[in-house]
A and B are shown apart, each in its own frame.
Chain A
């Protein structure tokens, strides 16, 4: 039987693989669009060489789309780069809102495939905590993945962030009808392992109909 840290590490690796696969898929789509647009420009050039007039407005629109797709590709790579570097340090001080937003952005394509919208409702001020950034991203990403898979048609999920006395709280409200699914999720050994290495607790609040995760403000304290 593997220890909690070992199980957590496996989860983190699995999550890294899943995110990389999703990002590569998105990049392939960008390349596919650029490929078709470049191909169409070649088609138009060949037609022009045979004496057909060039539609300048059409070419302007094609190049505008290509530039937009290059921008989209750049944003995808930037997200991937931030994500990859979040594994640089085992423990670091992070801004929780930024970290949650990154996880939600990385989950964007899977969310769209499942017809789910995920939003981060941040604290008013920057919420800084010292934690294991990559393990926390894995926990949030895994919870989003499992929740949206277990609750098809849920529509919208929100992640709310709050600061407490020497703690930070992440809540996912709107789950009053799904307490059982959340209980199954929290009973999973993989989730327990991630919570353990983060020194965090997770619970379901009947009163709020929400999944609550409480993290220490400083994992080393």
Chain B
């Protein structure tokens, strides 16, 4: 696994903090926040390779947040997660991130690790 710095954003604190801890045990440097506002503050101080975003969050959705983050950090890669699994969410998430970078909760950590690697590889191939 290549070294990477990841930002996790999900309004379920118990979920996102534990996911960060499990990624850390696998050698991934992962910070976590529970809102879009915190995510935007976080990227002011830290450079991230990749953000893993919950699709449904209060106030600002993961899709909207991705657009905001992309404007500020064009090289950042994105993976979406959702608890919904609805067609509507799937289409919104997959068209924003690409179907390969979309995960339905509960998340399998090894699958997330694979997708993070793939997203970074794809990012590095861009001119």
Contact = CB atoms under 8 A, between A and B. Distances in A.
Contacts of A114: 58
Interface in A15-56: 21, 24-26, 28-29, 31-37, 39-40, 43, 47
Given A21-B84, A25-B83, A28-B106, A33 B15 contact: yes
Contacts of A25: 56, 83-84
Interface of B is mostly: loop
Contacts, number: 62
A32 B25 contact: no
A2 interface: no
Interface string A91-121: 0000000000000000000001111000000
A9 interface: no
Given A113-B57, A115-B58, A36 B19 contact: yes
B22 interface: yes
Interface of A is mostly: helix
A167 interface: no
Interface of A: 21, 24-26, 28-29, 31-37, 39-40, 43, 47, 65, 69, 112-115
Given A28-B104, A33-B12, A36-B107, 10 more contacts: A25-B83, A28-B106, A29-B105, A32-B105, A33-B14, A33-B18, A36-B19, A39-B22, A113-B57, A113-B58
22 contacts: A21-B84, A24-B84, A25-B56, A28-B84, A28-B105, A29-B83, A31-B105, A32-B105, A33-B12, A33-B15, A33-B18, A35-B106, A35-B107, A36-B19, A36-B22, A36-B106, A39-B109, A40-B18, A40-B21, A43-B22, A115-B58, A115-B59
